[in-house]
Amino acid sequence: MASQTFAPHATFDGEIREALTIESARGFRLGATLHRPLDASKNQQPSSHILMLPGWSGPRTGPAELLVLLAAELARAGHTVLRLDLRGRGDATGRFEDGDLDGMIEDAAAGLSYLHSRGDGAVTVAGICSGANVALGLASLRPEAVGTAVALSVLPFQPSRGTDLERARRWKNWKLFLGKLLRPRNWLRLLRGEVNVGRVKQGLTGSEKPGGGERNLKDSARDIEKALESWKGRALFVWGAKDEEAAKARAHFEALHARGVAGTAVFEDVPGANHNFYGQGWRAQLSAKVCGFLAQA
């Protein structure tokens, strides 16, 4: 078989993608993909540089390639987008357990610095689920550098999560689990030992609140929600309307905005959509909402 050389750049429909490695704090090296408009003259959008962050356990592609789709749409619209792996995930160095909320915010800060090195002005930081918590955490830490935040399916930060939200999370996980039980291929994966039974059990019965003496990796050493009151940028919050946690999460962030978080904030949902916007129609609606919001000055 003839050998192949893979270039770090590849041209797609209306965009150019580049594979990168970015140095973060404490020696972590982060895999990243940069999306740029194929037509450089189109890169005139407000908030034209965007940092995009995945959820807690996933790589920079996002759930079922959601972040790839969004980055491609945004690049074709004239934005430059950096999708970033966080430590211990995807192409980043480190172990999975090296990733905690504050460390992920450090990684996001490295991505922010990279985008600042490419151009002037404030950067948009976007994320899904825990990646949205990281995005808001970065805005609270670097309020002068983050002009806009896009939070998809974001949940309250750990200190603000009550019993009702925990119950909604477990019910959602049970419905997902029961749906997977109906698929024969998942039984084969279980028999082959390819299913992390402990993680499944934790999702169905456990709490994200740690027990006595345990450290909660999803919590911060800072009061991020309080610190966010000094951030006066623009924010877009979007949830899937059928996500069981969405209504309580939306009410929480609307209350934070009333307390002074974000100078302006838009709260949206995608009718019928679930937490990860798996349907193609839902993703098209989500993409239109995000692109439309970022096109505004």
Mean pLDDT lowest among 3-17, 183-197, 250-264: 183-197
What percentage of the chain reaches a pLDDT higher than 90?
70
Q: What does the block give as tokens for 168? A: 């909604």
For 211-270, the pLDDT digits (tens) are 555 668 999 999 999 999 999 999 999 999 999 999 999 999 999 999 999 999 999 999
According to CATH, the topology of domain 12-161+223-295 is: Rossmann fold (3.40.50)
| Radius of gyration for the chain, computed over Cα atoms and rounded to the nearest angstrom | 19
Q: What pLDDT is attached to residue 197?
A: 56
Q: State how far the Cα of 87 lies from the Cα of 56, in Å rounded to an integer.
A: 10
Domain locations along the chain: 12-161+223-295, 162-208
CA distance 294 to 106: 25
Does the pLDDT at position 81 exceed 60?
Answer: yes
Quick check: 112 pLDDT over 50?
yes
Residue scoring higher pLDDT (166 or 294): 294
pLDDT value at residue 3: 43
Higher pLDDT, 79 or 2: 79
The stretch 94-101 carries a mean pLDDT of 96
| CB proximity list for 9: less than 8 A, separation 6 or greater | 16, 17, 18
Query: What is the spatial distance between Cα 208 and Cα 216, in angstroms, rounded to a whole number?
Result: 8
